[in-house]
Structure 1
Amino acid sequence: MVAMGPAELNDFLAAAFPGADLPMRVTRADDDGVELTWPYHQSQLRPGGTLSGPTLMTLADTVAYVAVVSRIGPQFLTVTSSLQIDFLRKPPAADLRATGEVLKLGRRQAVISIRIHSTADDRLVAHSTCTYALPAEPSEPAEPSAPQT
């Protein structure tokens, strides 16, 4: 069952990463999983004119985070414990669309499958599996810590 919808998840991402100005947007959150879009920007390119691996890994990790939080509610301290990615083809300079499906949601961990497509031709460009460590259940949602000065 989904605990948070797309609008709530977008607000949560902005609160979780206040200085990041993430251009990604959650477009779907339901019992089948989540979907995010990431608009193309030339800063994502690598030599050869394709989107970079770090861009795809960032998107995969964010989709996994959103998929877990959509199920358990706003828990800032949910963290990545592993991320594996297969680059299947060179992604062209275009927007990306990624879907995430929670394969297992346990008491202390979650396993998520992520599929990343290029919107240029809707071809699958990467597949990722991510495991998240879940926080002990707090009495209220944990807030992100303030930056150290």
Structure 2
Amino acid sequence: MTKEDLEQFLVEVFPQVHADFGVEEVQDMFVRIRLKVGERHLRPGGTVSGPAMFSLADVSAYLAIMAMIGPKALAVTTNCSIDFMRKPVNHADLIAECRLLKLGKVLAVSDALLFSEGMEQPVARATLTYSIPPER
């Protein structure tokens, strides 16, 4: 799927959150996704919350998989491990660079680095495993 395909797919399958995310780049086994940070993504003190960072990691893994296998909306997260390493810049967008490490018929494993716009070092790292629905 192309960048435009992924953006349209988000509108169709996740209308409640599609406006929070922007697809910036799609390559073979890789996507770059932006979380457009708003007030609802912040925790006390003005930094991006852990749940918002998890959402970005999860959406980036999902879209990396969709980019490779096509629109299979029923793919689901089966495991996630996330390390929060640095405080994000207050109110700044977050960018995920997600690489698929394994793309099998049933499982996909990804690694996502999350960056706060304007920072060189990642603020978080997540490893996610997805279950891919079988062909019917």
Distance 2:87 2:122 in 1: 10
1:122 Cα offset (Å)? 3.3
1:64 paired with 2:64, answer no
1:18 Cα offset (Å)? 2.3
1:21 Cα offset (Å)? 4.1
5+ residue gaps, structure 1, are 139-149
- For 1:98, the aligned partner's letter is A
Percent identity between the two aligned chains:
40
Distance 1:71 1:32 in 2: 7
1:20 paired with 2:34, answer no
Distance 2:115 2:12 in 1: 27
Work out whether residues 10 and 18 of structure 2, in 8 Å CA contact, stay in contact via their aligned partners in 1.
Answer: no
Displacement over 2 Å in runs of 4+: 18-22, 120-123
1:74 Cα offset (Å)? 0.5
Give the match for residue 84 of structure 2: 87
Aligned residues: 135
Work out whether residues 68 and 102 of structure 1, in 8 Å CA contact, stay in contact via their aligned partners in 2.
Answer: yes
Give the match for residue 122 of structure 1: 120
Distance 2:123 2:89 in 1: 9
Residue of structure 1 aligned with 2:104, choices 100, 103, 106: 106
TM-score, with length taken from structure 2 = 0.94
**CA root-mean-square deviation:** 1.2
5+ residue gaps, structure 2, are none
Q: Give the structure with the larger helix fraction.
A: 2
Distance 1:39 1:9 in 2: 16
TM-score, with length taken from structure 1 = 0.86
- For 1:137, the aligned partner's letter is E
Distance 2:106 2:50 in 1: 29
